[in-house]
């Protein structure tokens, strides 16, 4: 999965850019396609947060699993608000990255 994001920085929930080759190396990666305006997504996101937290708490550091959020929000502000309010501490493809299409 590292190859899929090679050369494309990912961002943390706090907005910090990270190198996917460092943070995804030797990990199982789940892609989460979602949006804050989507009711079923807003229902599912807390369940995913709980799963992610439990999985990471039970794994030796660094945990062998990571989630990358691919936003379908309408603006970067909506994406940031959705991530801040509902997401776990997982990574995201930047809003304006054309790769998400």
Examine the pLDDT at 4 and tell me if it is beyond 90. Answer: no
CB 79 within 8 A of CB 38: no
Is-above-0.85 flag for pTM? Answer: yes
Q: How far is CA 37 from CA 59, 76, 81, 100, in A?
A: 32, 13, 11, 18
Examine the pLDDT at 2 and tell me if it is beyond 80. Answer: no
**Residue 40: helix, strand or coil by DSSP?**
helix
pLDDT digits (tens, 9 = 90+) for 22-54: 999 889 999 999 999 999 999 999 999 999 988
pLDDT at 34: 97
The residue written with tokens 């502000």 in the block is: 77
Kindly give the interhelix angle for 39-57 and 76-86, rounded to the nearest 10 degrees. 50
Neighbours of 9 (CB within 10 A): 14
Instruction: Please state the rounded mean pLDDT for residues 3-24.
Output: 90
Domains of the chain: 2-92 (3.40.30.10)
Instruction: For the chain, state the CA radius of gyration.
Output: 13
């Amino acid at each position: 999965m590292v190859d899929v994001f090679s050369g494309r920085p990912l961002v943390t929930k706090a907005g910090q850019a990270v190198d996917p080759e460092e943070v995804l190396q030797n990990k199982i990666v789940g892609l989460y396609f979602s949006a804050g305006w989507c009711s079923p997504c807003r229902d599912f996101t807390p369940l995913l947060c709980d799963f992610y937290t439990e999985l990471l708490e039970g794994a030796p550091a660094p945990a062998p699993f990571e989630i990358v959020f691919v936003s379908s929000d309408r603006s970067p502000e909506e994406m940031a608000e959705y991530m801040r309010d509902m997401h776990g501490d997982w990574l995201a493809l930047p809003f304006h990255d054309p790769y998400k299409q």
